[in-house]
Amino acid sequence: MTSAFSLQLDLVPGKSPAETTVVVAMSGGVDSSVVAARLVDAGYRVIGVMMRLWSEEAPGQSRENRCCTIESTNDARRIAAQLGIPFYLINVEQIFRRNVVDYFIAAYSSGRTPNPCVACNRTIRFDHLLKVALALGADYLATGHYARVRATPQGFELWRGIDTHKDQSYVLSVLNQQTLPHLCFPVGDLTKPQVRRLAADYGLDVASKAESMDLCFIADGDYRRFLQDWAAEAIQPGPIRHIDGRILGEHQGLPFYTIGQRKGLGLSSPEKLFVLHLEPETNTVVVGAAACLGQDHLRAQQVNWVAGTAPPTPYDCTVKIRYRSLDHAATVTPLPGQQADVQFHHPLRDIAPGQTAVFYDGERCLGGGEII
């Protein structure tokens, strides 16, 4: 079958596609299914895998991880069979629990807003899974992420996906010069409608499949219920304090509040009040007027620079402070100890510690770090 789009994958020198083994992380959904189909179409030796992630379990009931339900596993297995490729389930429950779920609970317990997808990509998908793939003799790991890898004389670069609505470079900002040479994202140069059309062209019955879930390990998607079940000790009522020092009421537990929040505070006040910040040391929610909200500055830690080295300082670029946020113009100053200082050109209302700040130069993702 000929496809309307070219598949850009840099071959391992001296190896033909038939000699090049690509492990595809399959979800049963349309994106990773098209990834596998394109690679098979291009003549690569393709192996489908699916990670079995940790899921909530309680006595007498079993709850599925929403990224690897029995249904989606069967879908992935069926697609693999249709494409004539092997398919394996890889159990990562324990390391997922340790690196993603425990991190998620710890972050909320200390007043931060975690990003479990970034943690999963850093510790599971593009670390453990990649290592397994390479140990099994694969040359590449391919996923259905909307992002692009560019090989340049200076090294490997990470670019946004062509489809600006679907771009996932934000959650890939943890990649580096050790991982990128072994990765490919074969739908990164396509738009979602093009991917759907390709799925139809390939005869893949995945058109109606749901997207991957952000909080896949939370059975009902309700993180408050999850924290109550799994980290009840982290949820302690405490004072709501006005920035001027007055105690205005009681909050239900820090994890239930985010910076910039106005609704659900349960306060009767003539003033419109917003959550300004959370103080884990005193278990306090600090509120104040809209005028007090907004910062034009943040500090990031555990900063990853995709290129391997920090850019010359200071560096004008754009910054995303959440997966779905817009790009904000800023000046980034790399600091020692894997930190970075970010000075925005305009104040922002929703900078949340724990989320990832990701830096871009146009289409190119420079890297990112956790907001302190």
Partner 1 sequence: MTHRIIYLDHSATTPVSASVLAAMMPYFSEHFGNASGIYSQGRRAKQALEEARATVASVLHCHDDEIIFTSCGSESDNMVLRGVAWTAPQTGRRRHLIISVVEHKAVIVTARQLAQLFDFDLTILPVDGYGRVDPDALRQAIRPDTILISIMAANNEVGTLQPIAELSAIARDHGIPFHTDAVQTPGHLPIDVDAWGVDALALSGHKFYGPKGVGVAYVRRGLGLLPAQTGGGHEGKRRAGTENVAGIVGLATALQEADELRPQEVPRLQALRDRLLAALPDLIPNTRISGHPQQRLPHHASFLFADIEIQGVLMGLDMAGIAASSGSACTSAAQAPSAVLTAMGVDASAAAGHLRLSLGRSTTAADIDTVLDVLPPLVARLRLIST
**Residues of this chain that bind partner 1 (CB under 8 A):** 21, 45, 47, 52, 86, 88-91, 93-95, 128, 131-132, 135-137
Name which of 55 and 113 has its Cβ closer to partner 1.
Answer: 55
Point out the catalytic residue in the list 68, 117, 184, 216: 216
Please report, in angstroms and rounded to a whole number, the separation of the first and last CA atoms in the chain: 50
Q: How far is the CB of 133 from partner 1 (least distance, A)?
A: 10
Using an 8 Å Cβ cutoff, are 255 and 224 in contact? Answer: yes
Strand partners, 71: none
Residue 52: other Cβ atoms inside 10 A: 15
Name which of 32 and 55 has its Cβ closer to partner 1.
Answer: 55
Residues 152-163 as b or e (16 or more Cβ within 10 Å = b): eeeebbbbbbbb
Q: Is 67 a catalytic residue?
A: no
What span, in angstroms and rounded, lies between the C-alpha atoms of 79 and 32? 10
Name residues whose C-beta falls within 8 Å of residue 178's C-beta, 6 or more positions apart in sequence: none
Q: How far is the CB of 345 from partner 1 (least distance, A)?
A: 43
What span, in angstroms and rounded, lies between the C-alpha atoms of 340 and 336? 8
Name which of 138 and 365 has its Cβ closer to partner 1.
Answer: 138
Q: How far is the CB of 48 from partner 1 (least distance, A)?
A: 11
Name which of 36 and 330 has its Cβ closer to partner 1.
Answer: 36
Name which of 137 and 314 has its Cβ closer to partner 1.
Answer: 137
Name which of 45 and 112 has its Cβ closer to partner 1.
Answer: 45
Point out the catalytic residue in the list 117, 120, 184, 317: 120
Q: How far is the CB of 49 from partner 1 (least distance, A)?
A: 8
Q: How far is the CB of 225 from partner 1 (least distance, A)?
A: 24
Q: Is 117 a catalytic residue?
A: no
Q: How far is the CB of 90 from partner 1 (least distance, A)?
A: 6
Q: How far is the CB of 134 from partner 1 (least distance, A)?
A: 8
Name which of 59 and 336 has its Cβ closer to partner 1.
Answer: 59
Task: Determine the residue type at 20.
Answer: T
What span, in angstroms and rounded, lies between the C-alpha atoms of 212 and 137? 28
Residues annotated as catalytic (active site), given as ranges: 120, 216
